[in-house]
Amino acid sequence: MSSSIIHLLPDHVANQIAAGEVVQRPASVVKELLENSVDAGATSIKLLIKDAGKTLIQVIDNGKGMNEIDARMCFERHATSKISMAEDLFNLQTKGFRGEALASIAAIAHVELKTKTEDAELGTHILMEGSQLVSQNVIVTPKGTSFLVKNLFYNIPARRKFLKSDQVELKHIVDEFERVCLAHPQIAFSLINNGSEMFVLPASNLRQRIVNVFGNKIADKLVPVEETTEILSISGFIAKPEYAKKTRGEQFFFVNDRFVKSSYLHHAVSSAFEGLLKEGVHPSYFLYLTLPPQSIDINIHPTKTEVKFDDEQALYAILRATVKHSLGQFQVVPSLDFQADMSLEVPYKLNGTESVTPTISVDANFNPFHDEPSETFQSKVLGNSHFEKSAKDFGKTSPSNTVFNSRNHVSPKWETLYAELPNNTDKILSANHLIEQDFQSVVMFENQHQDVVQSKSFQIHKKYIVCPIKTGMVVIEQRRAHQRILYENYLNRFNQNYNPSQQLLFPIRLYYSAYELEMLSQLQDYLEKIGINITEFSEDKIVVSGIPVGMNESEVSMVIDDLLSDWQSDIPKEEEHIRDRMAKSFAQSLAVKTGTILSEKEQEDLMNRLFACKTPNISPFQKPTYITMSLEELDKKFMI
């Protein structure tokens, strides 16, 4: 008879296997420890991390603590104080219930536990290493529990190797931290990262908690949501559409105070925002659903962020209607319709700023000879900056490139016409008159800027610039061309020793969340190099007192916001990549938008500067910036 080959795995092996499911990264440990502290009834919870949790994670709470026996027991697999019968699973009031988190963590790290209950005089001190008890002592320690987790995955090098950069791991930790903090505003939380305070959140109400986590800029953007039905109650806040973000970061659902992900519920909320948001931005929301525990099953996923509801369809309908109602009730809708219109032509950050008047967006009655509105618009969008100021850098170096014929901007005919009309706002000069003067241009250009009329380059569909060249013609995509110019410009700044920045008379205050501030502090040297001087970092804002020559004050917050959302999850490690990514991000944010009318001068600058670039033919994102068509090709098209 052959010997039997099946045997039970030793506990530490079983624990390591379980750990694979529970602990994917430092953030998983953070989540489990924070939730245990919440379950222990703590009113104050402190999280300390070093090197994005790779070296150390510590959670200190003032909860109920554990006695000597529980302190030892908590590291056993399936050891939990939270449920005792299968039925309890259907009536969960706590975060944890599986009793495997601590066993898993202790299997793959060095863990130190200090804990004491209220009525005990002395506490318990335990050291664990790879599921093995190293020591157990009595200790003087305050009521509550401290778990210290060092050298995560020390015994599974393959897992350790797969951890991402510190920035990425820190981002995951902050995500978990924020979720727990938002679920429990009545508990005080703090997060200390590498010795410095990243979050200090006093016990507060929900609104204040959201503001404390995400910064003051969200404070006046929150719209309350409140609804109670037989099936569930919904409370929380949505952020006004104008606060919508390019990244989907600030979207939170809590079901019975537990953070959950649900694309179905997300869809319900998004559809309530329909028509209020521009393309590519996402609404922010903080919604708390309370349902009878029996009607949900949070047990379908080991890390418990997914949830199954009994009556999903009803939930969807109620949620959507409730959010819609709030948007309507707080009169978000009408003011937004107006803003959505504006967005057709004005970069989104300028929306709602006072200097952009509604008349500008109503392009239909635009009189090309009425100077004022178009100039306001132009200087607002282009800020006279990228084209005029920076033209100094670029325009000069390109001696009206060989690709282009030498151009004659203002024909004599036009000059005469101009001279006869000292005041060119004069209504005599109607569109009809123009047609007689230059039929062709007028047909090609509707709503144009007056300068364009006689120029040899033409802007078509507020998107392309067409220009004759010796061999035929060139068609330039204005946005991509400008991206190329800005990209090389900003890259160059990194290589120059001195980059003048315009000092601002009134420094700009910009509000950010703690995590964003942390990222900005890491990027400060780079920002400095290209001329953004941050002179003050405080707990919720930065003060910018200098900006690069060629940038507008109104653009600073836009470029920084874009930079932060581009880099949500990965700041590259190598300096060169950081520079490259930053230059790309700036180029993308600042490039003139499709839909912007360019004057003749601006078109000319754009072309000169494009062809002065090192690689004029492709955008920083590898798309063609222009195409050419030879006369022969044109001729061929007319042969048939």
Positions that interact with ligand ADP (CB under 6 A): 32, 36-37, 40, 61, 63-66, 74, 79-82, 96-103, 145
Residue 342 binding target from Mg ion, ligand ADP, none, CB below 5 to 8 Å by type: none
CB of 71 to ligand ADP, least distance (A): 8
CB of 57 to ligand ADP, least distance (A): 13
> What is the number of alpha carbons within 13 Å of residue 391 lying toward its C-beta?
17
Q: Report the Cα–Cα distance between both ends of the chain, in Å, rounded.
A: 91
Q: What are the phi and psi torsion angles at 383 (to 5°)?
A: 60, 20
CB of 70 to ligand ADP, least distance (A): 6
Residue 25 binding target from Mg ion, ligand ADP, none, CB below 5 to 8 Å by type: none
Residue 552 binding target from Mg ion, ligand ADP, none, CB below 5 to 8 Å by type: none
The number of angstroms, rounded, from the C-alpha of 120 to the middle of its chain's C-alpha atoms is 48
Based on the shown chain and the rule CB under 5 A, indicate whether residue 589 belongs to the binding site for Mg ion: no
Nearer to ligand ADP, 96 or 531 (CB): 96
CB of 552 to Mg ion, least distance (A): 51
Judged on CB neighbours under 10 Å (0-12, 13-18, 19+), 622 is exposed
* CA atoms of 96 and 63, how far apart (whole Å): 15
Report the residue closest to ligand ADP, judged by CB. 96
- Give the range of 92-100, 165-173, 214-222, 559-567 binding Mg ion by CB under 5 A: 92-100
CB of 254 to Mg ion, least distance (A): 18
Residue 81 binding target from ligand ADP, Mg ion, none, CB below 5 to 8 Å by type: ligand ADP
Helix (H, G, I), strand (E, B) or coil at 111: strand
Strand partners, 243: none
Residue 347 binding target from Mg ion, ligand ADP, none, CB below 5 to 8 Å by type: none
Q: What are the phi and psi torsion angles at 177 (to 5°)?
A: -60, -45
Nearer to ligand ADP, 298 or 381 (CB): 298
Residue 451 binding target from ligand ADP, Mg ion, none, CB below 5 to 8 Å by type: none
Instruction: Give the per-residue contact string, 32-71, with Mg ion (x = CB under 5 A; - = no).
Output: ----x-----------------------------------
Residue 113 binding target from ligand ADP, Mg ion, none, CB below 5 to 8 Å by type: none
Nearer to ligand ADP, 86 or 505 (CB): 86
φ/ψ bin of 113: left (φ > 0), alpha (ψ from -120 to 50), beta (otherwise):
beta
Strand partners, 199: 191
Sheet holding 472-477, edge to edge: 458-460, 464-469, 472-477, 626-630
Residue 585 Cα distances to 483, 498, 569, 570, 625, angstroms: 9, 21, 15, 13, 17
Nearer to Mg ion, 181 or 517 (CB): 181
**Which residues 6+ apart lie within 8 Å of 640 measured at CB?**
none
Selection from 479, 417, 477, 481 nearest residue 453 by Cα:
417
Nearer to ligand ADP, 98 or 209 (CB): 98
Nearer to Mg ion, 145 or 326 (CB): 145
Nearer to ligand ADP, 37 or 568 (CB): 37
Residue 97 binding target from ligand ADP, Mg ion, none, CB below 5 to 8 Å by type: ligand ADP
Nearer to ligand ADP, 148 or 591 (CB): 148
Residue 116 one-letter amino acid: K
Q: What is the DSSP letter of 9?
A: P
The number of angstroms, rounded, from the C-alpha of 390 to the middle of its chain's C-alpha atoms is 28
* CA atoms of 586 and 561, how far apart (whole Å): 10
Residue 80 binding target from Mg ion, ligand ADP, none, CB below 5 to 8 Å by type: ligand ADP
Check if the beta carbon of residue 425 is closer than 8 Å to that of residue 635. no
Nearer to ligand ADP, 63 or 531 (CB): 63
Q: How many chain residues touch Mg ion (CB under 5 A)?
A: 3
- The two counts, helices (H) then strands (E), for the chain are 22, 22
Selection from 10, 18, 123 nearest residue 72 by Cα:
123
Judged on CB neighbours under 10 Å (0-12, 13-18, 19+), 282 is middle
* CA atoms of 367 and 429, how far apart (whole Å): 10
Nearer to Mg ion, 34 or 476 (CB): 34
CB of 18 to ligand ADP, least distance (A): 10
Would you state the structure tokens that stand for residue 463, as one six-digit string? 């998107």
CB of 216 to ligand ADP, least distance (A): 32
Nearer to ligand ADP, 96 or 616 (CB): 96
Based on the shown chain and the rule CB under 5 A, indicate whether residue 96 belongs to the binding site for Mg ion: yes
Nearer to ligand ADP, 118 or 354 (CB): 118
Residue 37 binding target from Mg ion, ligand ADP, none, CB below 5 to 8 Å by type: ligand ADP
* CA atoms of 400 and 274, how far apart (whole Å): 48
Check if the beta carbon of residue 243 is closer than 8 Å to that of residue 284. yes
- Give the range of 90-98, 251-259, 463-471, 472-480 binding Mg ion by CB under 5 A: 90-98
**Which residues 6+ apart lie within 8 Å of 565 measured at CB?**
245, 246, 247, 249
Contact with Mg ion (CB under 5 A): which of 101, 238, 467, 491? 101
CB of 94 to ligand ADP, least distance (A): 7
CB of 344 to ligand ADP, least distance (A): 52
Residue 167 binding target from Mg ion, ligand ADP, none, CB below 5 to 8 Å by type: none
* CA atoms of 120 and 189, how far apart (whole Å): 25
Nearer to ligand ADP, 61 or 561 (CB): 61
CB of 618 to ligand ADP, least distance (A): 53
Helix %, strand %, coil % of the chain (to 5): 40, 20, 35
Binding site for Mg ion (CB under 5 A): 36, 96, 101
